[in-house]
Amino acid sequence: MSNRARVTVVVSQGQSHHPEKRKLEEEIVAGLLGDRAVGVTVIPHLYDLTADGTGMLSLQQETGDLIVCSWLFPRAAHWTLDRNGVHGQFGKSLLDAWDEDEEEADAGDEKPRVLETRQLPRRRIYHLDLRAGHPTGDYLDEIRRIAAETSTPVVTLTGLAPTNAPADEESLVRPGGPLQLGEPVEPASGPRHIDEPAARRWYPVIDYSRCTNCMECIDFCLFGVYGVDGQETILVEDPDNCRKGCPACSRVCPENAILFPQHKTPTIAGSPEVAGALKVDLSRLFGAPEPGAPGTEDAAAMAARERDEQLQLAGRAPVGEKTSERSTPKPAPQDELDELIDALDELDL
Ligand code: SF4
Ligand code: SF4
């Protein structure tokens, strides 16, 4: 007898309790009720959860494919989960536009990335960005499409407990073929709500698919946020030491690998499109003056200024642009663009 394991859909709630946000979240949960191909878990905003809290602990125990619906860029959601012990391969959603040219260019980059040194489970974690503004039906269709592609057969022998499919590569080709709608799977169950108290947080998240372990960030930050693990790999060791609103180290990372998922500037929050556009210097496209022109501030200076502001707020002496000699400035985001995004943010109270 063949049966199928459910795919877990995680709905990460918005922070603001905005009625439109809650409506979309509830419609997705309601739309999946009774669908035996998926199990639904509702958690508070995943960026606010801690690795040892109920929400992350429950996700850490999920070993199958995940479909994560969150109010974050997919890249930001993925690496936020990763830093909290929820690991897997990045699964692409067809709802997002992927820049194949940029991916090919990245693939040809000779720099070794931290991700290449890590052993990740084969299961996939797909991310649906709820901010993208798709109709509810599109999200539901995409969840069902992914569930049909990914749900792994479970072989049950009479008299024995169900056993998950073997972990060799072939088994991941789904020998039972794609799940058909209406095909018997595990019994349907209602959504699981995890009501963990979650205060708003602010900390950097490292995208290890880009990070080269250059240590610019640990040299730059003077608040003890970064550290290294037993293999001398950079990590965010004390996230809550980060100063709220400070994105300074993201500006000095040469690989655009440091994300602040809640930052108003898409580049810093994890937008793949904008990160790619920076390669052709987005700031110039928006009419920014050339770096070094009178009255302008480049990214390194902006980062140093932001760091000084935080040092002074903490009652410490500013240090100016003193930082690692290895720092490579990045293009500065544009104030006008920030203001426009601020104005849009304010509409979402
Ligand atoms: S500065 Fe960026 S690339 Fe370098 S170690 Fe930090 S996160 Fe990684
Ligand atoms: S944003 Fe500022 S305080 Fe936070 S980790 Fe970066 S440099 Fe340190």
For 313-340, write each residue's pLDDT tens digit. 999 999 988 764 444 434 344 445 545 5
CA 41–ligand 1 middle distance (angstroms): 33
Q: What would the mean pLDDT of 141-155 be, rounded to a whole number?
A: 78
pTM assigned to the model: 0.78
pLDDT at 172 over 60: no
> How far apart (Å, rounded) are the C-alpha atoms in residues 233 and 225?
14
Q: What is the CA(18)–ligand 1 centre distance, in A? A: 35
Q: What is the mean pLDDT of residues 143-164?
A: 60
3-class state of residue 254 by DSSP: coil
Least distant ligand from the CA of 235? 1
Residue nearest to atom 8 of ligand 1 (CA): 211
Sort 47 into a burial class: Cβ within 10 Å, 0-12 / 13-18 / 19+. Answer: buried
User: Residue 139 above 50 pLDDT?
Assistant: yes
- pLDDT of 131 higher than 90: yes
Predicted confidence (pLDDT) at residue 73 exceeds the cutoff of 60: yes
Protein residue with its CA nearest to atom 7 in ligand 2: 221
Which of 214, 221, 250, 326 gets mutated to test ligand 1 (max ligand atoms within 8 A of its CB)? 214
Which are the contacts of 43, defined by CB distance < 8 A and separation ≥ 6?
A: 10, 11, 12, 13, 49, 55, 58, 59, 194, 196
E strands, the chain, are 2-4, 7-12, 38-43, 66-70, 89-91, 124-129, 153-155, 163-164, 192-193, 205-206, 226-228, 234-236, 258-259
| Structure-model confidence comparison of residues 159 and 219, the more confident one | 219
Identify the top-confidence range among 93-107, 214-228, 313-327: 214-228
Mutational pocket test of ligand 2: of 218, 220, 221, the residue with most ligand atoms within 8 Å of the beta carbon: 221
Q: Report whether residue 91 contacts ligand 2, using a CB cutoff of 6 Å.
A: no
What is d(CA 88, CA 85) in angstroms, rounded to the nearest whole number? 10
Nearest-CA residue for atom 6 of ligand 1: 217
Q: What is the pLDDT of residue 261?
A: 97
Which residue has a Cα nearest atom 6 of ligand 2? Answer: 249
Q: Ligand 1 mean position to 86 CA, how many Å?
A: 21
146 lines ligand 2 (CB under 6 A): no
Ligand 2 centroid to residue 167 C-alpha, Å: 40
- pLDDT tens-digit profile of 277-315? 444 443 433 334 444 555 456 888 889 999 999 999 999
Residue ranges of the domains in the chain?
2-193, 205-346
Q: CA angle, corner 257, sides to 108 and 209, nearest 5? A: 50
Q: Mean pLDDT check: name the lowest of 27-41, 49-63, 128-142, 167-181.
A: 167-181
